Structure 1
Amino acid sequence: MQRRALLRSLLCLPVAAAAAAIAGVPAGVPFHGDATPAPQAFPARPVRIVVPVAPGGSADKLARTLALKLSEKWGQPVVVENVVGASGTLGAAQVARAKPDGYTLLLGGEGVTLNASLFKTLPYDASRAFRGVSKAVVNPQILVARPDLGVRSLQDYIALARKRPGEVTLGLPGNGGIAHVAHEMLSRQTGIKVNYIPYAGGAPATVDLLGGHIDATLITLAAVTDYVRSGRLTALAVTTPYRSKALPQVPTMAQAGAAGFAVESWQGLLAPAATPADVVDRISRDVAAVLDVPATRGQLEDAGYVVVGSSAQELDAALARDLPRYASVILASGMSLR
């Protein structure tokens, strides 16, 4: 009897309310029946940033800075995971295959575009696998020489390399990296030829330069800022189209005589290509916000970085522009990693 009375009363209710009553859902609580639950606002769970290089380097330090600040802003853990190997392609491949929902991001840089031409085959299509989230910082590359080499400017360096073709030894932080490509662009523009000495990173190249075992190196500015300030290395020029706030006395290559020269090495976040635009834009805005905190910005700028915090659209445009530009230099020079 009680059940028939309940059913008769439910006939007078709207369908959704009746269904809620039968299911025992309290009044006023949204009820979706068998429909898919309403999606939660991003981020609703931990976010992972894949760093395709070993811990301790500039990329890893930036990733951990972003992870800490974004975790504070989102109220969710942001975990850094180092996936090392194959010049960064192992980590990149992992992100390319990840679910495109914003919860797996890549701490990437210009290596994404360089590897597209340096490797004959990749486990992903570099031109289609990712979408930009934010170019967080630019790492100006700087050409530095040992003081007893006797060069004080980019023009001195070019003159010496022309006088002694193939004899000036230039240390590279890695074979096929942005320093290699940038110097090859300079060589093609000025007609010089040097003896490239590749190292397994910027630190050993710097040690050998300080020890007088090589003549010069083209390296991330943040790696040698203190040595330039102390006079242990001579700074000749930076590759960016603007001077660094950390070393404002050092001219750009364009200012020093290599007209139109401009190469930006950068680090930032990328996501799988199909990640929804609203999620990408949310992450991009929040990255820009945490980088704009004076203490964070000041710390990064003093180390030699240029803080950018670009939009997703600006990074996508940079990726599309740099891919063919670097490919032409790599293919013409014969650089290859596999």
Structure 2
Amino acid sequence: MPHSVRRPSAGGSHRRSALGAALCLAAALIAPAPQALAADDFPSRPLRLIVPLSPGGNVDIVARLLAQGMSKELGQQVVVENRPGASSVVGTVAVAKAAPDGYTMLAIGNTFVSAAALIPNIGYDPLKDFVGLSNTVTIPMVLVVNPSVPASNVEELLAMLRQHPDKATNGTAGAGSTSHFAGELFASLAGIKILHVPYKGNAQALSDVMGGQITMMFDSLGSSAPGIKAGRLKALGVTTATRSPAFPDVPTIAESGLPRYEDVTFNGVVLPAGTPKPVVDRLYAALSKAMADPELQKSLRERGIDPNVSASPAQYTQYLKEQSAKYTQLVRSRRMTVE
């Protein structure tokens, strides 16, 4: 004879369901959300600020000053780590693949979006693989030559380049770099050709300009300033629409021989996509306070660099989208390719 099975009463089932629901609600109220935990505990260990370029350039200079200030604000050391190679691609890809926990940041310049517009299958998407934290500075670039070059202004340089087109060389920090695009714009407006000589970073290119191996270079005013002041570089013109307060005697390129020329570089910080918003906000607050320090601002302005923090991470992300569209259009119109 089969055994009978006793079914639970409807009332008992409802009581157990109500008890389970109450326990779940209590647990939800007691345990904070994962992102809240991340924000409350963050940071609990040192952070890395990756510079995808060689030491000594503008991005590196700004990153090191910023790291000092953020270390104080966060209560944890922010370590600057240089990972140069392939027009910033090596270091950039490394951060794209890093855990989106806020402990790995990337210091960027225009190359972050310009190289992606120029180089097919570069290995990262500046808009999908990253989220913007903030802009840090804007810097006028400057056209520099070796002091032995027989040109005292842009007009004389253009005459020399047209007379000896096969001997003109333009050193850059690499294909797709800020200096590369500045040179392309210069050559386009002037109607001339200049041999592009890419390096692994602007410091090496700048060294060869000072050594006389390269005719010219477009470099950030911040990293060229020491060489200009020491007489190892001759500054022919700044790339911005107005003269730089740091070098008021250096004319703009537009006023000294090439009308309509204007270009500017920016630096900023981005994070791997998926970084929790509370962590992004925490880092943005630390960056903003660090950049507001009077001593840091003084140090930057002495190098011809203007502090320029974004209104919010969202605003900087939108700015990067606009810059990406601009460079993509320039690459297409100029039919630029990787050399």
AA aligned to 2:316 is: L
Q: CA deviation at 1:129?
A: 1.7
> Could you tell me whether the CA contact under 8 Å between 2:145 and 2:234 is conserved in 1?
yes
Tell me the number of residue pairs that the alignment of Structure 1 and Structure 2 aligns: 310
Change (3 A) 1:276 1:259: farther
AA aligned to 1:248 is: P
TM-score (norm 2): 0.79
Equivalence for 1:271: 271
AA aligned to 1:305 is: I
Equivalence for 2:189: 189
AA aligned to 1:335 is: T
Q: CA deviation at 1:146?
A: 2.7
- For residues 152-167 of structure 1, what are the structure 2 equivalents within 5 Å? 152-167=152-167
Q: CA deviation at 1:237?
A: 1.3
SS at match of 2:247: coil
Q: Deviations over 1:202-230 (max 9, x none)?
A: 33433333333333222222232133224
AA aligned to 2:195 is: N
Using the alignment, how far apart are the partners of 2:245 and 2:59 within structure 1? 20
- Single out whichever of 34-43 and 141-150 deviates more from structure 2: 34-43
SS at match of 1:107: strand
Structure 2 residue 322 is the aligned partner of structure 1 residue 321: yes
Structure 2 residue 243 is the aligned partner of structure 1 residue 243: yes
- For residues 60-209 of structure 1, what are the structure 2 equivalents within 5 Å? 60-209=60-209
Change (3 A) 1:33 1:265: closer
Change (3 A) 1:73 1:241: same
Q: CA deviation at 1:154?
A: 1.8
Using the alignment, how far apart are the partners of 1:203 and 1:151 within structure 2? 23
Change (3 A) 1:59 1:190: same
Q: CA deviation at 1:278?
A: 4.7
Structure 2 residue 333 is the aligned partner of structure 1 residue 334: no
SS at match of 1:165: coil
Using the alignment, how far apart are the partners of 2:52 and 2:210 within structure 1? 28
Q: CA deviation at 1:296?
A: 0.9
Using the alignment, how far apart are the partners of 2:213 and 2:198 within structure 1? 13
Q: Deviations over 1:56-90 (max 9, x none)?
A: 54433432322221121122332333344433223
Using the alignment, how far apart are the partners of 1:319 and 1:122 within structure 2? 17
Q: Deviations over 1:164-188 (max 9, x none)?
A: 3343233333343211111111111
> Could you tell me whether the CA contact under 8 Å between 1:45 and 1:77 is conserved in 2?
no
Q: CA deviation at 1:241?
A: 3.4
TM-score (norm 1): 0.79
SS at match of 2:144: strand
Equivalence for 1:45: 44
SS at match of 1:90: helix
Using the alignment, how far apart are the partners of 2:74 and 2:96 within structure 1? 24
Equivalence for 1:288: 288
Change (3 A) 1:58 1:101: same
Q: CA deviation at 1:113?
A: 0.6
Using the alignment, how far apart are the partners of 1:213 and 1:85 within structure 2? 22
- For residues 288-307 of structure 1, what are the structure 2 equivalents within 5 Å? 288-307=288-307
Using the alignment, how far apart are the partners of 1:293 and 1:120 within structure 2? 40
Q: Deviations over 1:27-64 (max 9, x none)?
A: xxxx8579644524353423332222344544334323
Q: CA deviation at 1:143?
A: 0.4
Equivalence for 1:4: none
Equivalence for 1:8: none
Using the alignment, how far apart are the partners of 2:207 and 2:82 within structure 1? 25
Using the alignment, how far apart are the partners of 1:206 and 1:44 within structure 2? 38
Using the alignment, how far apart are the partners of 1:230 and 1:90 within structure 2? 33
Change (3 A) 1:255 1:281: farther
AA aligned to 2:129 is: A
> Could you tell me whether the CA contact under 8 Å between 2:87 and 2:174 is conserved in 1?
no
SS at match of 1:326: helix
Change (3 A) 1:97 1:236: same
Change (3 A) 1:106 1:33: same
Q: Deviations over 1:252-295 (max 9, x none)?
A: 33343544433222222101233344543442343222122111
SS at match of 1:144: strand
CA-based RMSD of the aligned residues comes to: 2.9
Q: Deviations over 1:134-172 (max 9, x none)?
A: 111223321012333322222222233233334323333
SS at match of 2:148: helix
AA aligned to 2:324 is: L
> Could you tell me whether the CA contact under 8 Å between 2:117 and 2:328 is conserved in 1?
yes
Equivalence for 2:11: none
Q: CA deviation at 1:240?
A: 2.8
